[in-house]
Amino acid sequence: MQSEVVIEAEGLTKKFGNLVAVDSLGFQVFKGECFGFLGPNGAGKTTTIKMVNCVLPLTAGKLTVAGMDVIKQAREIKKMIGVAPQEDNLDPDFTVLHNLIVYARYFDIPKIEAQKRAEELLRFVQLDEKSKVLIDQLSAGMKRRLILARALINEPQILILDEPTTGLDPQARHLIWDKVRSLQKEGVTIVLTTHYMEEAAQLCDRTVIMDNGKIIEEGKPSDLIKKHVGEEVLEVAYDEEVLKFLKNAFPDARLDVVSDRIQVFTNQPRGVFTQILNKFSFKAAMIRDANLEDVFLKLTGRRLRE
Amino acid sequence: MKTSKVASYFKMPKLSYRVWRVWRRDQDVFMKTYKVNFIPPLVEPIFYLLGLGLGLGDFVQLVGNVHYIDFIAPALVATSMMYSSFFECTYASFVRMYYQKTFDAIIATPVSLEEVIAGELLWGATKSIINSTIVLGVILLFGLVHTPFFLLILPLSFLVGLLFSAIAMCFTAITPNIDSFNYPAFLFITPMFILSGTFFPMGGLPVAVQMLANIFFPLTHAVMLTRALTLEGLNPTLLLNLSWLLVTTPFFFVLSINMMKKRLIK
């Protein structure tokens, strides 16, 4: 079903001086899917997508977008990509509407068409009432939505979203997610980076988890969860005796002690924790679904980055 | 190895019509506040003409019976070319590059970084045309223009503006922060403003300073040319001044684009 490859990397490497930011990555993004780069800060996610977007030259390796080489055919590739960068680089000298009109000009979109698309896009991201407002009067969520609208002005086939919801409140975040889903339905290929696991689980068909410039795992979010942390997690308050008991009860499980809590991960099917809890009572015990965050922390560790 | 490194600073940029998209962006911003933008070039020369031209001018006796106010008027036109373009491509370009991330936003589109910088340089040159034309209008009203050759000041202001924009952009490419523009502003622009034959004939200066001003100061050549174009018309020595500008402008144009590429594309 997913046959046509739109982005393909082979041995993709980027060095800044001695620092290897991206270390011989290989990945494929298929047409129409939502592909996520997950990783802690400094993992190399943004560096990778900047190379896809042809604004950062490669140190080594090969990278093609729609079969075109990112170095030789940068202009052609940039025409078909829309980018919503992590940093706010909206033009503070212009109003909301004029930001889109000026941006359309860089894509050679004729003025009348630009006006039409800009108005449509402002409705799409629910900013039509703000069209005459200057950028610094927008909230963070509105700015993100405008950046999304701007990324769509050239009707891109590939949409790149770099941390699209960082710093947003839940309302603004869900609105962005809705828009991303509806774009994917229209057939737009979406590449996003995030360190919000819920975001990746909600949106992505496939993800790669990056750490220190390398891809350390790859797959569907649900498969990754099952593979690495099972279906359910048991959490109880830390106690020496309880820890000993759990170790005996679940000899194959992974037990993590995180501050004052014990987390138990097991490959056994749903329900084993309920059986235990029915027999014994632990202080502050709870059973929850395993999630991508558990996978992420397992694979990348708990050490703080940067 | 070493020669290829030098050569990398003079690689010919690949430019297309997209340069004008960047120029249009800057022009759009300028037009939003054009009323305010027109005030400095309109008001400043009036004060210079009244204060220096009439006030100080009474005490000054120049060779060839030239009135002092006639002598400084064309210099005011030339310095406005310098200031408008130099400050556009230092402080203003730096703000767009560093604080507003405007360049980052543009290079995510089919416009290349080389075209962004070239667009900025052309806009700096355009600011030179706009401002110097206003100053020229003022000195015309004061009756300080004595030959129809003054019309050639328009194309000249483009050339001089492009040169100062390119020199400015070289500083923008290496400045660690916006405050560091004080160095070129006070160590390069201010001495030039005083020593380029602007407010007194160069002949009064020590020979070494004269040589320095002739070799290194673009403003010296801009002043010579504008003065001829408002006072006495063309003469053959102007070819030297023009040639100086025609050689240095493409040199710094290409250099500044490559320096900016090295700063922004790692």
Asked whether residue A148 falls in the same domain as residue A181, the answer is yes
What's the rounded Cα separation, in Å, for the pair B211 and B202?
10
Residue-level pLDDT at B4: 84
Q: B76 in a domain, yes or no?
A: yes
What's the rounded Cα separation, in Å, for the pair A225 and A231?
7
- Across the interface, whether the CB atoms of B105 and A90 are under 8 A apart is answered yes
Q: Hey, of A20, A59, A91, which one would you mutate to test binding to chain B, going by the most B CBs within 10 A of its CB?
A: A91
Range of the domain at A259: 231-289
> 3-state DSSP helix/strand/coil percent for chain A, to nearest 5?
40, 30, 35
Q: A302 in a domain, yes or no?
A: no
Q: B172 in a domain, yes or no?
A: yes
What's the rounded Cα separation, in Å, for the pair B9 and B56?
46
Q: Hey, of A14, A71, A93, which one would you mutate to test binding to chain B, going by the most B CBs within 10 A of its CB?
A: A93
Asked whether residue A254 falls in the same domain as residue A191, the answer is no
Residue pair A160/A192 in contact (Cβ under 8 Å)? The answer is yes
Q: What is the mean pLDDT of each run of 10 residues along chain A (306 residues)?
A: 84 94 95 93 92 95 96 95 93 96 97 97 94 94 94 96 89 90 95 88 92 91 84 83 81 82 81 76 79 82 65
Residue-level pLDDT at A243: 82
**Between residues 240 and 299 of chain A, which touch chain B (CB distance below 8 Å)?**
none
Count the domains in chain A.
2
Asked whether residue A164 falls in the same domain as residue A48, the answer is yes
Residues of B in contact with A16 (CB under 8 A): 266
A110 inside 8 A of chain B by CB: no
- Across the interface, whether the CB atoms of B100 and A89 are under 8 A apart is answered yes
The Cβ of residue A246 has, within 10 Å, a number of other Cβ atoms equal to: 20
Provide residues of B within 8 Å CB-CB of chain A.
18, 21, 24-25, 28-29, 32, 100-102, 104-112, 265-266
Assign A262 to helix, strand or coil: strand
Q: B118 in a domain, yes or no?
A: yes
Residues of B in contact with A89 (CB under 8 A): 100-102, 104-105
- Across the interface, whether the CB atoms of A103 and B21 are under 8 A apart is answered no
Asked whether residue A115 falls in the same domain as residue A178, the answer is yes
Residue-level pLDDT at A142: 93
Asked whether residue A119 falls in the same domain as residue A181, the answer is yes
Q: In CATH, what number is assigned to the domain containing residue A65?
A: 3.40.50.300
Residue-level pLDDT at A305: 61
Asked whether residue A96 falls in the same domain as residue A191, the answer is yes
Residue-level pLDDT at B75: 97
Least CB–CB distance from B109: residue in A56, A91, A106: A106
Asked whether residue A244 falls in the same domain as residue A182, the answer is no
A93 inside 8 A of chain B by CB: yes
Q: Hey, of B29, B96, B107, B109, which one would you mutate to test binding to chain A, going by the most A CBs within 10 A of its CB?
A: B109
Q: Please return the burial class of B188, using the count of CB atoms within 10 Å of its CB with bins 0-12, 13-18 and 19+.
A: middle
The alpha-carbon radius of gyration of chain A (Å, integer) is 22
What's the rounded Cα separation, in Å, for the pair B192 and B213?
8
Q: Output the DSSP codes for B105-128.
A: HHHTTT--HHHHHHHHHHHHHHHH
Of A206, A225, A244, the domain-final residue: A225
- Across the interface, whether the CB atoms of A90 and B21 are under 8 A apart is answered no
Q: A179 in a domain, yes or no?
A: yes
Assign A239 to helix, strand or coil: coil
Q: Please return the burial class of A160, using the count of CB atoms within 10 Å of its CB with bins 0-12, 13-18 and 19+.
A: buried
Least CB–CB distance from B109: residue in A90, A98, A107: A107
Asked whether residue A147 falls in the same domain as residue A189, the answer is yes
Range of the domain at B70: 26-264
Residue pair A213/A22 in contact (Cβ under 8 Å)? The answer is yes
Q: Please return the burial class of A37, using the count of CB atoms within 10 Å of its CB with bins 0-12, 13-18 and 19+.
A: buried
Least CB–CB distance from B102: residue in A89, A98, A108: A89
Asked whether residue A195 falls in the same domain as residue A236, the answer is no
Q: A301 in a domain, yes or no?
A: no
Residue pair B38/B127 in contact (Cβ under 8 Å)? The answer is no
- Across the interface, whether the CB atoms of A102 and B25 are under 8 A apart is answered yes
Q: Please return the burial class of A39, using the count of CB atoms within 10 Å of its CB with bins 0-12, 13-18 and 19+.
A: buried
A85 inside 8 A of chain B by CB: yes
Structure tokens at A275: 């059986």
- Distance from the Cα of B48 to chain A's closest Cα (Å) equals 32
The alpha-carbon radius of gyration of chain B (Å, integer) is 19
Structure tokens at A149: 């609208």
What torsion, rounded to 10 degrees, do the Cα atoms A117, A118, A119, A121 define?
Answer: 80
Structure tokens at A291: 């999630």
What's the rounded Cα separation, in Å, for the pair A121 and A155?
10
**Between residues 58 and 77 of chain A, which touch chain B (CB distance below 8 Å)?**
74-75
Structure tokens at A213: 């410039």
Residue pair A63/A28 in contact (Cβ under 8 Å)? The answer is no
Asked whether residue A240 falls in the same domain as residue A102, the answer is no
Sheet hosting strand A81-84, strand order edge to edge: A81-84, A158-162, A189-194, A34-38, A206-211, A214-219
Residue-level pLDDT at A256: 83
Residue pair B229/B147 in contact (Cβ under 8 Å)? The answer is yes
Least CB–CB distance from A106: residue in B104, B111, B265: B111
Structure-token match 């210079």, residue found: B48
Asked whether residue A137 falls in the same domain as residue A285, the answer is no
Least CB–CB distance from A79: residue in B28, B106, B110: B110
Q: A299 in a domain, yes or no?
A: no
- Across the interface, whether the CB atoms of A56 and B102 are under 8 A apart is answered no
Asked whether residue A11 falls in the same domain as residue A91, the answer is yes
Q: Hey, of A51, A89, A106, which one would you mutate to test binding to chain B, going by the most B CBs within 10 A of its CB?
A: A106
Count the domains in chain B.
1
Q: Closest chain A residue to B21 measured between Cα atoms?
A: A106
Q: What is the pTM of this model?
A: 0.91
Q: A298 in a domain, yes or no?
A: no
Low-confidence residues in chain B, pLDDT < 70: 1
A51 inside 8 A of chain B by CB: no
Residues of B in contact with A88 (CB under 8 A): 101
Sheet hosting strand A254-258, strand order edge to edge: A254-258, A261-265, A232-237, A286-289
Q: What is the pLDDT of residues B198-215, one digit of tens each?
A: 999 998 899 999 999 999
DSSP state of B146: -
- Distance from the Cα of B160 to chain A's closest Cα (Å) equals 27
Question: Which residues are bridge partners to A237 per DSSP?
Answer: A261
Assign B33 to helix, strand or coil: coil
